[in-house]
Amino acid sequence: MSKTKEIVVLPGDGIGPEVTKEAIKILQTVCKRHDKKLSIRSFPVGGASIDRYGRPLTEEALTACRKSSAILLGAVGGGKWNDQPKDKRPEAALLQLRKELDLFANLRPITTYKSLLKSSPLKQEIVSGVDIMIVRELTGGIYFGRPRFIEQTEQGERGVDTLSYTTEEIERVAHTAFETAAKRDRKITSVDKANVLDSSRLWRKTVQESAKQWPEIELQHMLVDNCAMQLVRNPKQFDVILTGNMFGDILSDEASMITGSIGMLPSASLGEEFAMYEPVHGSAPDIAGQNKANPLAAIASVALMCRYSLGMPEAAREIEAAIEATLNDGFRTGDISSKPSKEYLADTTDMGSAVLKHLNPYMQPGNLL
Ligand code: IPM
Ligand code: MG
């Protein structure tokens, strides 16, 4: 049996604990089947950590993350903590984790499932067969640029953020995008705002330069406003989209609707040493604690974990196939339900169990621990 893999779970706030619970069951099942030993430790993060320890991320949780093979994060945030100063807000934990662990490349696959085509607000012929990988830079850009402040002025106040990118920051995420494209359809669309922003002009020049090492990959540049439009006009034109932190944040939410629901989108945040996996949806406080949330994005995030951190690409494919089969069976949580007669309105645990059944029809969750 191989060396034990240390997994850190950060369930977080809102629906985070419910969806990570289902995802962990799936992870335990595939690891058992593939003879991979896991040690799983869980820590509060975000609002849950503020409530317990007075800050969104503890040193203990961060240290555990630094020792881990992979991290699974649920979601952070909620109205309850909105009035906190910015470094005490739940989101600060997420940003700190990304920065401290240097998770500079955020992979957000946008894949459509045949049986969910009806759930997309876009026409079926536009969305069917879409398969995009968004590679979002995650530790730079306007999220982290300095200076940033709000100051008093004679008229009132002035808020300042800084958008900055260095060649090195661009090069390393571009490298991830080219490597990713090499294993897919070999096409990259690099998205920027080079008609206005200097940081984007450097972005474009640097990506262009990196492309010389990847002659087999087709590179095109696209302005972000045009990309936002093209994503709904003709999303099939995209293979890999490479972009900065803020543009990637916005475009990935937009692209999620191609799949029918943001509740379907997994993500992987990768650095040289560490990796964190998280569903793209937020904490959804309005449905928290009601067993209504869609756990498929968290489950698909575990598939990405198997692929990128645990050396189990086969397990990743098995999980993805089990998700597809569950959807084909007609299981739907509220966010992806279009309620024709063949669908079952499933709650969070039903959905998790249905995926589990496809992975191993004889194994009940209770037998795993
Ligand atoms: C995301 C989220 C985060 C971001 C928030 C919660 C800080 O929207 O992961 O896309 O803006 O990066
Ligand atoms: Mg976002």
Protein residues with CB under 6 Å of any ligand 1 atom: 77, 91, 94, 249
pLDDT surpasses 60 at 365: no
Decide if 193 is catalytic: yes
User: Is residue 45 within 8 Å of residue 98, measured between CB atoms?
Assistant: no
pLDDT at position 341 is 64
Give the model confidence (pLDDT) of 21-53 as tens digits: 999 999 999 999 999 999 999 999 999 999 999
pLDDT at position 2 is 65
HEC profile of 278-345:
CCCCCCCHHHCCCCCCCCHHHHHHHHHHHHHCCCCHHHHHHHHHHHHHHHHCCEECHHHCCCCCCCEE
- How sure is the predictor about 362, in pLDDT bands with cuts at 50, 70 and 90? low
Q: Which value, to the nearest 10 degrees, does the dihedral of the CA atoms of residues 47, 50, 56, 58 take?
A: -130
Pocket test for ligand 1, best of 76, 81, 91, 106 (most atoms within 8 A of CB): 91
pLDDT at position 262 is 86
**Cα 174 from Cα 211, distance rounded (Å):** 9
Distances (CA, A) of 64 to 7, 67, 267: 9, 5, 21
Residue 147 preceded by cis peptide, ω within 30? yes
Mean predicted confidence (pLDDT) in 170-186: 98
Calculate how far, in angstroms, residue 245's C-alpha sits from the geometric centre of ligand 1: 9
pLDDT at position 369 is 37
Q: Which CATH architecture has domain 121-259?
A: 3-Layer(aba) Sandwich (3.40)
Report the interhelical angle of 313-328 vs 348-359 (nearest 10°): 120
**Cα 85 from Cα 87, distance rounded (Å):** 6
Is the fold of 1-107+265-369 the same as that of 121-259? yes
157 by DSSP, 3-state: which?
Answer: strand
pLDDT at position 366 is 45
Which secondary structure element, helix H or strand E, spans residue 97, and what is its range? Answer: helix 90-100
User: Is residue 188 within 8 Å of residue 181, measured between CB atoms?
Assistant: yes
170 by DSSP, 3-state: which?
Answer: helix
- How sure is the predictor about 118, in pLDDT bands with cuts at 50, 70 and 90? confident
Mean predicted confidence (pLDDT) in 190-218: 98
User: Is residue 304 within 8 Å of residue 268, measured between CB atoms?
Assistant: yes
Q: Which value, to the nearest 10 degrees, does the dihedral of the CA atoms of residues 141, 143, 147, 148 take?
A: 150
pLDDT surpasses 90 at 73: yes
Among residues 252, 220, 331, 302, the alpha carbon closest in space to that of 20 is found at: 302
Place of tokens 């200076």: 147
Q: Which two tokens stand for residue 6?
A: 């240390």
Q: Which two tokens stand for residue 100?
A: 């401290």
Maximum Cα interatomic distance, the chain, rounded to a whole number of Å: 71
- How sure is the predictor about 368, in pLDDT bands with cuts at 50, 70 and 90? very low
Calculate how far, in angstroms, residue 281's C-alpha sits from the geometric centre of ligand 1: 9
pLDDT at position 84 is 86
- Catalytic hit among 13, 239, 249, 335: 249
Mean predicted confidence (pLDDT) in 352-368: 73
Chosen CATH of 1-107+265-369 out of 3.90.580.10, 3.40.718.10, 3.40.50.620, 1.20.120.1080: 3.40.718.10
User: Is residue 25 within 8 Å of residue 296, measured between CB atoms?
Assistant: no
Delimit the domains of the chain by residue range.
1-107+265-369, 121-259
Give the model confidence (pLDDT) of 251-304 as tens digits: 999 999 998 888 899 999 999 999 999 999 999 999 999 999 999 999 999 999
pLDDT at position 1 is 53
Decide if 113 is catalytic: no
> 87 or 62: which carries more pLDDT confidence?
62
The pTM score is: 0.94
* For the chain, the helix, strand and coil percentages under 3-state DSSP, each to the nearest 5: 45, 20, 35
Calculate how far, in angstroms, residue 250's C-alpha sits from the geometric centre of ligand 2: 6
User: Is residue 42 within 8 Å of residue 11, measured between CB atoms?
Assistant: yes
Give the model confidence (pLDDT) of 339-353 as tens digits: 666 788 899 999 999
Q: Which two tokens stand for residue 135?
A: 């590679």
User: Is residue 243 within 8 Å of residue 224, measured between CB atoms?
Assistant: yes
Q: What percentage of the chain has pLDDT greater than the value 70?
A: 96
Give the model confidence (pLDDT) of 250-264 as tens digits: 999 999 999 888 889
Residue 361: which residues within 8 A CB-CB, separation 6 or more?
A: none
Residue identifier of the C-alpha nearest atom 12 of ligand 1? 249
Decide if 143 is catalytic: yes
pLDDT surpasses 50 at 367: no
